[in-house]
Structure 1
Amino acid sequence: MIEQGRIAGINGPVITIRGSKKYQMLEMIFVGHLKLIGEVINIEGQDVIAQVYESTTGLRVGEPVYATGEPMSLELGPGIVGGVFDGIQRPLTTINEKSGAFIGRGLDVVALDRNTKWHVELPVKVGDALKSGDTYALVQETELVMHKVMLGPHQSGKVIEVVEPGQYTIDQTVVKIMDQYEDIIELKLYQKWPVRQPRPFNARKPLSKPLITGQRIIDSLFPIAKGGAAAIPGGFGTGKTMTQHQLAKWSDADIIVYIGCGERGNEITEVLEDFPKLIDPKSGKPLMERTILIANTSNMPVAAREASIYTGITIAEYYRDMGYHVAIMADSTSRWAEALREISGRLEEMPAEEGFPSYLPSRLSQFYERAGYVETLNGQEGSVSIIGAVSPQGGDFSEPVTQNTKRFIRCFWALDRQLAYSRHYPAIHWLNSYSEYMTGMAPWYQENVSEDFLTIRQEVMALLQEESKLMDIVKLIGADILPEEQKLILEICSVLRLGFLQQNAFHDVDTYVPLGKQKEMMRVTLYAYEKSKELLEFGIPVSQMRKTGIYEELIKIKYTVGNENLDAFEPIFARVDKIFSTLRESYKSFERVKNG
């Protein structure tokens, strides 16, 4: 680290450096006497422009700037899972010990603890030939995650020395290899990787398997594939964060990376306090044993907010390369885009729509395109699924961030203000949402759920769309003058909305529902619809069917039937038959008496 130039101008988090031509784009630098962390983002003749990831309050013109000669990079190794980091991978627990509740400036903090000793197993021996991505050490990072320490991309060689299995820190050399140039490379338990550079892989795989979330409206109607990208747009109070919490807790991803990007401090605090207390429902272990939290609140330096997204995706790719399925929750990409807008304004760049920089679409694409289901360098399969929350001002989905996000994702879960305010959660509107992954995943659903699953789903979607058309009429003239067939559609859709689409995150049974039960819930509702149509043909009005109470019973199935007790649905089908048969017989008797 050597001095290269001095500060010539300060504009918030953006500084101008003069006195050196040796800087390179995206180089990591240290600014001022406090050595604040920064990154070069523009070079204009004699001027070098950099953004600083810490508060520049008190910084003065003329203070030195130190070059590192390296790009902004992350440390990737044991100790990441279960950790809580800021936007540039500084552990908040260590920062708290050094500076208290508020992050101090210029703190010399390493991302991964150098003192912790890990038990290391070595699956290689002297004479083995290693190539990029091969595993040379195994560390049990948590009870749920086996950390596979891999040879970095663009490295290869022959093993010439291996330590004995035992306790080692991440700084100790555990393997030595000799490359093709006969240079000796010492391999430790961690590697560095540039934060803005995607990690390589062998090939992309088709997106043919769903990320199972246990949320009915997502899994059955608008599923996301493993390796896919989805957006959750919604105005204030519509449940973006709550929905992402549910997905983080219940999705069948191996590892969760939660990025709190520019959100309110109390929301991030809730995440930091609640996640360590949560129990992973699949293993019974603490959820933090497979979770990584990146916290960057709205009052933290704006440049670090911009970096936090890249920090999260790089960590996710690292665990993907081990063969894990990783899900990223980015909350929210709108705050990240606002950071881009602020820095762009300070750089005096020409603004585009609503003041956002003209390169907003390309930055969004660089983020979402890093999702994927891939064959890794070592021949395993892994995936990164991205679920990004979008916070359009006033709930306006026509604003630039939402519209540009839709260009790069194939799953759109539109949160509706009216649903949220009527306490319908998750407030995903079934008419404004879509998923383009279902076609590719159809064989999986047919093989693992049932052959008729897609048909059942299409019938449910058709009913909900028909209800929407009828509701426009009802708002004008009321429901009483509708024909009985249309009244029945409204009644069945009420069952679907309240019993199937609405889900209680705080109920032990309803918070997570497996696909088998989801399919049976739709099937029994459609069965009741068919039986109801038969009674209509017989002349029995919907009002009489409603009095039997069967529709209320169907709504309560989500609570009364256990998630694994699918046999309980057969008596429900039988009860539908019995109630409608009894109603039909009583109506026959009534008609006979009436006709004398």
Structure 2
Amino acid sequence: MSKGTIKKVAGPLVIAEGMRDANMYDVVRVSNQRLIGEIIEMHGDQASIQVYEETSGLGPGEPVESTEMPLSVELGPGLISSIYDGIQRPLDDIMKATNSNNLKRGVEVASLKRDKKWNFVPVAKPGDEVAGGDVLGTVQETVLVQQKIMVPPNMKGKVKDIKAGEFTVDDVVVILETEDGDKELTMAQKWPVRVGRPYQKKLPPKVPLVTGQRVVDTMFPIAKGGVAAVPGPFGSGKTVIQHQLAKWAEADIVVYIGCGERGNEMTDVLNEFPELKDPKTGQSLMERTVLIANTSDMPVAAREASIYTGITIAEYFRDMGYSVALMADSTSRWAEALREMSGRLEEMPGEEGYPAYLGSRLAQFYERAGHVICLGSDNREGALTAIGAVSPPGGDISEPVSQATLRIVKVFWGLDSALAYKRHFPAINWLTSYSLYLDDVGPWFNGNVAEDWMALRQEMMTLLQEESELEEIVQMVGMDALSPGDRLKMEAARSIREDFLHQNSFHEIDTYTSLEKQHYMMKLVLAFYDEGAEALSRGAQVNDLVKLPVREKIGRYKYTEESNLTAEYEAVDKELSAEIAGLLGKEDL
């Protein structure tokens, strides 16, 4: 074991000498207080260590000891509904151990509870040949989540003995006969956070992750296993959108990383999630959620680790065949931690002081998402979808973190503070946002929801873009200068904005919209435009069309309950046709 002494302390960076036998990324214990750190640079026998706890009071000459293990997470029963800090220390257990609401230094607490017993149900039997990823048994962790206890990825052999019953995560449940002798396996395994967990094959993104948010599902969909960025200035609703996606996205598991966020925002998450009901099961949302809380007042180096801790836990559930949604809020704070550590290491700064390797680190993180065939003989499929919020200073997305992120992700939900100030939520700007998954998931929408889905979406986007061009004319010469056809376009686009894209996350019905309902809403909004344009060509007055009483019912269709969709759609559609026919009848007279 490599032991050394502190030579220099600079904030979260500690330089230790006498560490010649240590390796890059080894976890070390610093000083007699045994603070957790990680080696991030080696020069001869000097090691640069980023310390994940407060370093005040440390001085030269104090001991440093390497554990000769990389920073790893514990994976096993007990992860779900846990609240961890950035290096997977359970915050509630730390609070009980220290009897304090503040994190104390040098506290060593196991990530998974050692005293709790779990009911292990074996799937494999003695004599079975198994390899990495094969399921040995299951544990019903919560009402919603059944954990599969799998053979570690780098191991294979024959099952010599397998037990059934109640065990802790430290108890041996399987003895595996391997080429290197017998291996004892428990229900928990460790995995280094900076190494992606292996899989058999990555699949193309062809199935959308349905979120129930109309502007996302219809306009800018994300594929299962896809990556998205949500950049936006302060107060534009990044956190609200991530909460909505965590609540409603069709994911079996949610991993929420609060990376350098304000403490009160994390408090909202911690208070909200246990009370939120899962719409499909009626259980608490925490029954399928892992929270990683690393607030802005916690040691800055731990932000850097929190992102990797979260995605490794997400990969573990993906390997079981689950669809996992990972929310990282926000990667800008993570990049700030990189910048601070880089500055203390005296590395050559890149753009705006960020390290030159910012782009490659972001790519390493986002590339761990994907829709894959997992390891194991049953060829199960799992998906990990990563959605990262970006908080550019002053809302300027030309800064390095936003630009580096946009080069990697395929969905850009651009938040607009002007829309947020107008009380338009979600404040996703439909003119600047995009999804590069449209061509991949379009056939799924056309085949599984409605064959005209993509055509209707395109018609709506065209109207919104034409409205933007007409808006400039209106500002110069006024609405009266527009032709009746253009006036109708402006009205139809307003209807798309206010009736379709605007969604109230606090309304019990409007907070989630099924794909069937989104399709009906598109048809109603566009029926007004198409039938109105036809009526104009036959002599109707545009002012009469704008004032049709049925337009209020089109706007209120979003509050229709799911059980009554078809009947209400047919009634509103019939009323629209009748009112337009009435206008034409009046013109004929």
Where 1:444 maps in the other structure, the secondary structure is helix
Report if the CA contact (8 A) 2:236-2:416 is conserved. Answer: yes
Q: Output the TM-score relative to the length of structure 1.
A: 0.97
Q: Deviations over 1:306-350 (max 9, x none)?
A: 100000000000000000000000000000001101111111111
Where 1:495 maps in the other structure, the secondary structure is helix
**Percent identity of equivalent pairs:** 51
Residue of structure 1 in register with 2:78 after alignment:
79
Where 2:384 maps in the other structure, the secondary structure is strand
Unaligned runs of 5+ in 1: 590-596
1:206 and 1:118 map into 2 onto residues whose CA distance is 37
Report if the CA contact (8 A) 1:509-1:563 is conserved. Answer: no
Equivalent residues in 2 for 1:235-274 (5 A)? 235-274=233-272
Give the AA of the match of 1:244. Q
Residue of structure 2 in register with 1:358 after alignment:
356
2:545 and 2:14 map into 1 onto residues whose CA distance is 72
Residue of structure 2 in register with 1:24 after alignment:
23
Cα distance change, pair 495–563 in 1 and its aligned pair in 2 (3 A): farther
Question: What is the RMSD computed on CA atoms of the aligned residues?
Answer: 1.0
Residue of structure 1 in register with 2:458 after alignment:
458
Residue of structure 2 in register with 1:552 after alignment:
552
Equivalent residues in 2 for 1:416-495 (5 A)? 416-495=416-495
Give the AA of the match of 2:166. Q
Q: CA deviation at 1:46?
A: 2.8
Where 1:518 maps in the other structure, the secondary structure is helix
Q: CA deviation at 1:564?
A: 5.6
Q: CA deviation at 1:47?
A: 1.5
2:92 and 2:283 map into 1 onto residues whose CA distance is 22
Residue of structure 2 in register with 1:376 after alignment:
374
Give the AA of the match of 1:441. V
Residue of structure 1 in register with 2:539 after alignment:
539
Report if the CA contact (8 A) 2:222-2:228 is conserved. Answer: yes
Report if the CA contact (8 A) 1:27-1:70 is conserved. Answer: yes
Q: Deviations over 1:392-445 (max 9, x none)?
A: 111111111111101110000000010000000000010100001111112211
2:236 and 2:242 map into 1 onto residues whose CA distance is 12
Equivalent residues in 2 for 1:217-366 (5 A)? 217-366=215-364
Q: Deviations over 1:122-171 (max 9, x none)?
A: 112111111010111210010100000111111011111122x2110000
Residue of structure 2 in register with 1:521 after alignment:
521
Where 1:429 maps in the other structure, the secondary structure is coil
Where 1:480 maps in the other structure, the secondary structure is helix
1:502 and 1:177 map into 2 onto residues whose CA distance is 56
Report if the CA contact (8 A) 1:76-1:191 is conserved. Answer: yes
1:96 and 1:263 map into 2 onto residues whose CA distance is 20
Give the AA of the match of 2:446. Q
Q: Output the TM-score relative to the length of structure 2.
A: 0.98
Where 2:283 maps in the other structure, the secondary structure is coil
Equivalent residues in 2 for 1:142-291 (5 A)? 142-163=142-163, 165-181=164-180, 183-291=181-289
Larger mean Cα displacement after TM superposition, 545-554 or 32-41: 545-554
Where 1:330 maps in the other structure, the secondary structure is strand
Q: CA deviation at 1:574?
A: 0.6
Give the AA of the match of 1:334. S
2:451 and 2:158 map into 1 onto residues whose CA distance is 51
1:476 and 1:328 map into 2 onto residues whose CA distance is 46
Where 1:157 maps in the other structure, the secondary structure is strand
2:556 and 2:542 map into 1 onto residues whose CA distance is 20
Q: Deviations over 1:53-95 (max 9, x none)?
A: 0000111111101111111100000000110000000001001
2:238 and 2:29 map into 1 onto residues whose CA distance is 37
1:547 and 1:208 map into 2 onto residues whose CA distance is 42
2:236 and 2:262 map into 1 onto residues whose CA distance is 15
Equivalent pairs counted in the alignment come to: 586
Report if the CA contact (8 A) 2:231-2:397 is conserved. Answer: yes
1:204 and 1:211 map into 2 onto residues whose CA distance is 17
Residue of structure 2 in register with 1:138 after alignment:
138
1:566 and 1:44 map into 2 onto residues whose CA distance is 70
**1:573 to 2:573 alignment:** yes
Report if the CA contact (8 A) 1:132-1:154 is conserved. Answer: yes
Residue of structure 1 in register with 2:497 after alignment:
497
**1:584 to 2:584 alignment:** yes
Unaligned runs of 5+ in 2: none
Larger mean Cα displacement after TM superposition, 439-448 or 236-245: 439-448
Q: CA deviation at 1:174?
A: 0.5
Report if the CA contact (8 A) 1:517-1:564 is conserved. Answer: no
Q: CA deviation at 1:561?
A: 5.2
Q: Deviations over 1:335-369 (max 9, x none)?
A: 00011011111111111111111100000000100
Report if the CA contact (8 A) 1:137-1:189 is conserved. Answer: no
Where 2:133 maps in the other structure, the secondary structure is coil
Q: CA deviation at 1:509?
A: 1.0
Report if the CA contact (8 A) 2:560-2:568 is conserved. Answer: no
Give the AA of the match of 1:269. T
Q: CA deviation at 1:563?
A: 6.2
1:447 and 1:499 map into 2 onto residues whose CA distance is 26
Report if the CA contact (8 A) 2:14-2:48 is conserved. Answer: yes
Where 2:444 maps in the other structure, the secondary structure is helix
Give the AA of the match of 1:279. K
Q: CA deviation at 1:527?
A: 1.2
Report if the CA contact (8 A) 1:123-1:138 is conserved. Answer: yes
Q: CA deviation at 1:540?
A: 2.3
Report if the CA contact (8 A) 2:212-2:515 is conserved. Answer: yes
Q: CA deviation at 1:98?
A: 2.2
Report if the CA contact (8 A) 2:2-2:20 is conserved. Answer: no
Equivalent residues in 2 for 1:102-141 (5 A)? 102-141=102-141
Give the AA of the match of 1:42. E
Where 1:354 maps in the other structure, the secondary structure is helix
